[in-house]
Structure 1
């Protein structure tokens, strides 16, 4: 996401359980968890239709309690009651290290030196329960949310006994200040009510919302007196309100400018990737940063509490967000309000607006909806060996990739393969995969993170749970093994990523990863079809690159060629790696404020994107054999 001064701006640029599914008729009746009973009791006490209360909570928290921890938007508990006094604003992860542009052709980037509703107080007045209890006790939090919803309904003067008449109260509960976002939130709530949902929460509570078809009174939103956002030049699918908050393209003098580059994509270059980030700061802080001409800019920012979307850079232009110039030039950067170490507060409202936006962008630019093209910031490689250790690790293992791809309409492993193929996709059950990390609390780096669902798995040197993790010479040049720190991706695989199988022993599978065999339990992977690469016969190994740049001969006279240098990794003979897209070498030379001087350099070299470790990399097509796996 955003970034700040350069010391040098770190590139942010960071099963079905746990996934919403249509609930079978009568599913709620069979569910007797304490969380389910709390919703039923609160709905009855305050006169809120139970489907409405469940639907609102699902969009806010997916019914999770989060252990009483606040969201980035200062929300607490299943009902996301807000209390700005209880959180600190925090900074941006771009303050921590590298230049998000990731372009060695230019000098160092010179750096610059919200309101959520206070609903916890309203809930306290309505229930007589103190704010601290409302923040931390899930039962009281649900009561407080029901009381607030009922209060909004009374103020609107609408009927209380018909779910369709709660549209205005639901829209107000979103916390949005504009009609478009409030309407989108309410529409998603009533869509969830109509379709039904069920899942197991972060603390093991089974909750179900039976399908309850409702045709809400959408005209009620007019009575809320909300503003209309300035959509301006914003690019968005129909039905998704996107606010236009432009980033400044400004000449700062002395050859320095900010905070993105003009381009004419896709006419000048094809857009091949969408990069998913988190902001590591609040939405308001991120908006402040993207409007600073001495900072940097990405394309979109999404707010957690209600899913509101703002666009800052036209998708034809190149944002500074990924920390790798090749990926910047070929991608769209989408920032999500949140902190990677507290990622369970990526709200359902934000997941849904993000999925709708990304599906639209992928369709517009013909980007496949898979994990080779829709990548996390943590999957972007370093440009050169010395940049590997400083790359970002957001959105991290608490981003629910399986759920996200369900919302994109492209479920992972939608066509299951029943027989081994030599290629597997990582697909643990998010809700029941509380992989143990450390370092979520920066004040206690070695302390264990709270037990939460996770989209990632560790790889081990032997097929046993107590075996050491794999080494990563890029992150641990001293040669030691990787760690379980949440920021250490050196021995970690993530949902949707594909790896070639090296060996199977009992209920363990080994995959090729950074030149090594990495073992994980076979229950965390599924066989898939696809392409793999291996070194051409006669080559003992092939180099791996962090960018797919052209050969020197491709550069026009007067333009200094970018050096094509490999990373510190090699792909050894006898090993196979999952192949992504084949790409023709390109470099976008855009080091001046005058866009008329920008040049796209295209070479003859072709590269294959590979899933080499947790991050992707590139190998020259001439160095490898590409083959398709079969059952």
Structure 2
């Protein structure tokens, strides 16, 4: 297993003359100098800013908004962007998704790499693959946009006067999208940032408080953008969401209808979860599907290239997205354009940033905790019956950066121990996404290792040994075979933000209770992958040798009125043994069933919530969330 591997390849950098300052608005500066491998990425920002007359704070903040200063090892994003400045090189005549099937648009703005080449005199290949050349190209573009707006250029100009140029850099299709990007950049500038890039470069941006001239956005030669009305979309105003309704319509015969159910949440059921999905296809095909009454639905779709948002189903209504009716009843689903096996190629910084804004807004509006027990991946949704466990989804997959996502929401995943992780402690997994390049296979060819990139999990093994087999998941592999490194096999993965109770500790190895057994992962004190924290755990009541777990919290039979069939609550194939403990993640979930089986919402006994008295708890039990009956367990403080 490859643990915490850092990409340490040296930068083949382009040194920029730093003696050229205060560039006037009369024309572009001279081309950059030939390569000089002594320049670091951190110093390249200052050199490029001075050479092209861009305030360094603006250049750093734009680059952070585009890539967090990472270069993605010369690979492009889904919208064809390269390097820390996200210079694009796409054939504007036909833009397709990575499947090569879906046409998604055309735009000259998707060829900024070639414009940067003209401005700098640097070869396009260097701009793609060389970090410092790429930074030079981004600075040249910003200066070019500033001139085109008739605004002054110079490294000593006020950052407040670069709002229009920053908005232009976004490549957005309308002024609303461009302004949203610029607002993000200035927000980043005000907060400051510091991180180690994927190439091991330490970059620091001190906070700079600026009141930008937002009126400059009106100068952009772009359409205003889609108009939104508060009655249509439920989004923060800065996102400029569009309303593209999913159909609530009858089709065929025999009472068939789709593709969601009318409700009146929270009166007909609390909203407890926001489920993060990926589309496994391009955005236009996804939008087409959600408008099909014979298909399923979800509340929101987000585009990869710029994080643009469409809403399809009101939060009060129940979309069909999770593959578990109880979770559907209590959740909002957000689809993100991308492919789980391709990860960072599609999960762009714009996508993360706008998704985090949307989730934070929805969580506040619906009183949903900002934690990994309530902001969940589709891969955390449990099966409802033993027969459905194996077919549950695994998106957004191992390459979704949960740590960064929660940082953007202002709710960072716990990363500090106040006491050592010992038997009885609750530990939170936090493996440091960028440096945590676990071995994953089968992204393109079965059995072949995937391209190395940051992963959000650590593997669990059957013994405290790097050579030990991965733990078993009898729900996914009923034959009892071991879990694998296959990209879609999450049977032995514990992901960032998930919590477990320590069963044993042996040196650098931590053994946690997992699916009724002990799984081991290495977490040395010098570079831990998990951190101890206080909390509550559930344990089997005295005298119970085994406690069942469930995939839904439906009411007891006596709670159902006449005319509404009892929905059987069937235990899954897992159980909690005597002496085991699992973290309590929510003690306040509703025991209920929302009955909605007819198109006519006025049908007696339909579109109603059945509430039960048999209380359940939500727990961390494996790689998915599960429920236990309160009558079967005791709640205890962790050691």
Q: Same fold by TM-score, threshold 0.5 exceeded?
A: yes
- Map 1:508-587 to 2 at 5 A: 508-522=509-523, 523-582=528-587, 583-587=589-593
When the two structures are superposed, what TM-score results if normalisation uses the length of structure 2?
A: 0.85
When the two structures are superposed, what TM-score results if normalisation uses the length of structure 1?
A: 0.86
Residues 420-467 of structure 1, C-alpha deviations (whole Å, 9 max, x = no match)? 452111112223222221122x2x222222332222111111112221
With over 3 angstroms needed to count, the CA separation of the structure-2 counterparts of 1:519 and 1:341, relative to structure 1, is same
With over 3 angstroms needed to count, the CA separation of the structure-2 counterparts of 1:624 and 1:489, relative to structure 1, is same
With over 3 angstroms needed to count, the CA separation of the structure-2 counterparts of 1:265 and 1:169, relative to structure 1, is same
- Map 1:64-79 to 2 at 5 A: 64-79=70-85
Aligned to 2:27: none
Q: Bigger relative contact order, structure 1 or 2, given CA contacts below 8 A and separation 6+? A: 1
Aligned to 1:429: 432
Which has the larger displacement, 378-387 or 66-75? 66-75
Aligned to 1:126: 119
Out of 216, 222, 231, the position equivalent to 1:220 is: 216
Q: C-alpha distance in 2, partners of 1:58/1:602?
A: 48
Equivalenced residue count is 580
Q: C-alpha distance in 2, partners of 1:333/1:73?
A: 24
Pairing 1:316–2:324 present: no
- Map 1:43-442 to 2 at 5 A: 43-85=49-91, 88-90=96-98, 114-115=105-106, 117-119=109-111, 120-129=113-122, 131=124, 133-161=126-154, 162=157, 163-224=159-220, 225-232=222-229, 233-254=232-253, 255-345=255-345, 346-413=347-414, 416-420=417-421, 422-440=425-443, 442=444
Post-superposition offset of 1:419: 4.4
Report the structure number with the largest CA radius of gyration.
Answer: 2
Q: C-alpha distance in 1, partners of 2:106/2:87?
A: 14
Post-superposition offset of 1:610: 1.4
Q: C-alpha distance in 2, partners of 1:580/1:554?
A: 25
Q: Do the aligned residues in 2 keep the contact of 1:509 with 1:519 (CA within 8 Å)?
A: yes
Post-superposition offset of 1:128: 4.8
Q: C-alpha distance in 2, partners of 1:287/1:177?
A: 18
Q: C-alpha distance in 2, partners of 1:130/1:563?
A: 66
Residues 491-547 of structure 1, C-alpha deviations (whole Å, 9 max, x = no match)? 110111110110111121110001111111232111111111122222221211111
Residues 215-264 of structure 1, C-alpha deviations (whole Å, 9 max, x = no match)? 22111000113323231311123544322222222222312222221110
Q: Do the aligned residues in 2 keep the contact of 1:381 with 1:546 (CA within 8 Å)?
A: yes
Root mean square deviation of aligned Cα: 2.5
Q: Do the aligned residues in 2 keep the contact of 1:584 with 1:605 (CA within 8 Å)?
A: no
Post-superposition offset of 1:315: 0.6
Pairing 1:613–2:622 present: yes
Q: Tell me the secondary structure at the aligned position of residue 138 of structure 2.
A: helix
Structure 1 residues not aligned, in runs of 5+:
1-14, 19-28, 93-113
Post-superposition offset of 1:130: 5.5
Aligned to 1:12: none
Post-superposition offset of 1:416: 4.5
Which has the larger displacement, 326-335 or 59-68? 59-68
Q: C-alpha distance in 1, partners of 2:449/2:138?
A: 31
With over 3 angstroms needed to count, the CA separation of the structure-2 counterparts of 1:595 and 1:71, relative to structure 1, is farther
Q: Do the aligned residues in 2 keep the contact of 1:74 with 1:87 (CA within 8 Å)?
A: no
With over 3 angstroms needed to count, the CA separation of the structure-2 counterparts of 1:124 and 1:591, relative to structure 1, is farther
Q: C-alpha distance in 2, partners of 1:281/1:146?
A: 33
